[in-house]
Amino acid sequence: MFRELQNLIVKALGKDDETPVSHEKLSTYYHQNRNKERYLIQIGAGAGDQDNRANYHDGFSEIIKRLALDQKDRIVLVEPNPLNIDALKKCWEGNPKASIHQIGIVTKALSGKPLPFYYTELDAPCYQIASFNPDHVLKHYKKLTLPDLTVIPVPTIDLEAFIASTTNGKHIALLALDIEG
């Protein structure tokens, strides 16, 4: 399902590679699909536009906040790191179309099981280097070892199940993936 969805979006946007898509192309594609209940989904939402290390920029947030959304549109934000949820709420406060889901997207084999999620306090305040894979954190913080990392359990779901339960088969106008994996 995911590959099929990705291919449909790439085809609709006239793309044949993974280079960034311009705001104009996204806007055109988005507006061509008016009069449908549309979902704009970001998997790996981080702190949204609240991370000072990114100069308070987040591509997804910036694009979506510039679009003229219809009444039926829904913004779905997924972030596994519970330490980013307050910042994400602040990013989208006052936008009733946005829903935030604190859950990790994993393979079907791991879906539904809480998994250990690793990070270091050295990465505060937005903890962008966090992962279900401790080696991902350790490669960015070479002086640390596994016992130096903080571990928290995070609920999980596979992408297909999440999309099915969230959209109920409705139109996905945009699926943005920013996940380490």
Per-residue model confidence as pLDDT tens for the chain (181 residues):
344 444 444 544 444 555 555 656 656 655 665 667 889 999 999 888 877 666 666 778 888 888 878 888 999 999 999 999 999 999 999 889 999 999 999 999 999 999 999 999 999 887 888 999 999 999 999 999 999 999 999 999 999 999 999 998 888 888 988 887 5
Instruction: Return left, alpha or beta for 19; rule: phi > 0 is left, psi -120 to 50 is alpha, else beta.
Output: beta
User: How many angstroms separate the CA atoms of 127 and 24, rounded?
Assistant: 31
In this prediction the pTM is: 0.79
User: How many angstroms separate the CA atoms of 128 and 63, rounded?
Assistant: 20
DSSP state of 111: T
pLDDT of residue 32: 65
What does the buried/exposed string (b/e) look like for 105-128 if buried means 16 or more CB atoms within 10 Å of the residue's CB?
bbeeeebeeebebbbbeebeebbb
Helices 23-32 and 59-66, packing angle to 10 deg: 50
In terms of DSSP H, where are the helices of the chain? Answer: 2-12, 23-32, 59-66, 85-92, 134-140, 159-167
CB count in 10 Å sphere of residue 159:
21
Our count of domains for the chain comes to 1
Q: Which domain holds residue 65?
A: 2-177
CB 79, CB 46: distance < 8 Å: yes
CA nearest neighbour of 123 among 92, 144, 105, 103: 144
User: How many angstroms separate the CA atoms of 174 and 176, rounded?
Assistant: 6
